[in-house]
A and B are shown apart, each in its own frame.
Chain A
Amino acid sequence: DAKTTQPPSMDCAEGRAANLPCNHSTISGNEYVYWYRQIHSQGPQYIIHGLKNNETNEMASLIITEDRKSSTLILPHATLRDTAVYYCIDPKLNTGNQFYFGTGTSLTVIP
Chain B
Amino acid sequence: NAGVTQTPKFRILKIGQSMTLQCAQDMNHNYMYWYRQDPGMGLKLIYYSVGAGITDKGEVPNGYNVSRSTTEDFPLRLELAAPSQTSVYFCASSGGRTGANVLTFGAGSRLTVL
**Chain B residues with Cβ under 8 A from A103's Cβ?**
41-42
Q: Chain B 71-104 against A: per-residue CB contact (8 Å), 1 yes, 0 no?
A: 0000000000000000010101010100111111
Contact between chains at B102 and A43 (CB < 8 Å): no
State which of B14-22, B43-51, B61-69 sits at the interface with chain A. Answer: B43-51
Measured between alpha carbons, how far is A100 from B90 in the docked complex, in Å?
A: 13
Question: What secondary structure prevails in chain B residues at the interface with A?
Answer: strand
Interface residues contributed by chain B, number (CB under 8 Å): 30
**Chain B residues with Cβ under 8 A from A91's Cβ?**
101
Measured between alpha carbons, how far is A103 from B40 in the docked complex, in Å?
A: 9
Tell me how far the C-beta of A1 lies from the nearest C-beta in chain B, rounded to whole angstroms.
7
Measured between alpha carbons, how far is A55 from B43 in the docked complex, in Å?
A: 25
Contact between chains at B102 and A41 (CB < 8 Å): no
Interface residue A98 (Cβ < 8 Å from any Cβ of B): yes
Contact residues of A with B, CB < 8 Å?
Answer: 1, 32, 34, 36, 41-46, 49, 51, 85, 87, 91, 96-104
